[in-house]
Chain A
């Protein structure tokens, strides 16, 4: 079964500093990858997704992620964070090789806390 590892449960960062949130998934030939964001007391919303094509994916709010097949990683980055980016971020993967296109496997989440 597919698994997703988010190595950092919490990441504190100062406003206007760069940030990288790490995500690794278990190896598979064919996967789709997603980052979702959850603001306090809200549901999740899509930040960005990799389905095919360019390995550098740009999302909303200035975030981007790079798909690295050899390292089975999909790290999320932002060059300059804002206080409003404080939220929990979830990496998710679907494994198409096992017929799992109907559903996602989520990581345990990374809490990003932006400080002044």
Chain B
């Protein structure tokens, strides 16, 4: 049982480039989440999904897109990278609504935009 996996672990992008951060879970969880973590700011919710085909915006969705075609995968897309998107990105999943029970986090992707 791998839990929540994220790839890549590290990435450096140039301004204007695009990329997809991958997230997968093998726990058959319906709920999945993307957060960004900036120093001294805690975690901010970017997007979340309550099941395959259903996604919704979180607190800081601008500049990002998501899709959820399967229960297992929840990729996060950056279309035009900007320095403000330099951050550590965490994916998480939960079996029930993530505000009512445990969320399981991946190891994170550290992204730098130069």
Which A residues fall within an 8 A CB radius of B? 4, 9, 32, 41-46, 49, 51, 90, 94-96, 100-104, 106-109
Contacts and interface: CB of A to CB of B under 8 A. Distances in A.
B12 interface: no
A104 B34 CA distance: 12
Contacts of A101: 97, 99-100
A106 B42 contact: yes
B40 A103 contact: no
A1 to B, nearest CB: 9
For the complex of A and B, list the 3 residue pairs with the smallest distance between their C-beta atoms, beginning with the closest.
Answer: A94-B99, A43-B105, A108-B42
Contacts of A108: 40-42
A107 B92 CA distance: 17
Interface stretch (B13-21, B43-51, B61-69): B43-51
Contacts, number: 67
Interface string B76-113: 00000000000000101000011111111111100000
Contacts of A107: 42
Given A32-B99, A51-B100, A108-B40, A102 B105 contact: no
B4 to A, nearest CB: 7
Given A9-B40, A102-B48, A103-B45, A32 B100 contact: yes
A44 B41 contact: no
Interface residues of B, number: 28
B106 to A, nearest CB: 5
A90 B31 CA distance: 21
Contacts of A102: 31, 48, 50, 56, 97-99
Contacts of B31: 102
Given A49-B101, A104-B98, A104-B99, 14 more contacts: A43-B106, A44-B90, A44-B103, A44-B105, A90-B43, A95-B99, A96-B99, A100-B99, A101-B99, A101-B100, A102-B56, A104-B45, A106-B43, A107-B42
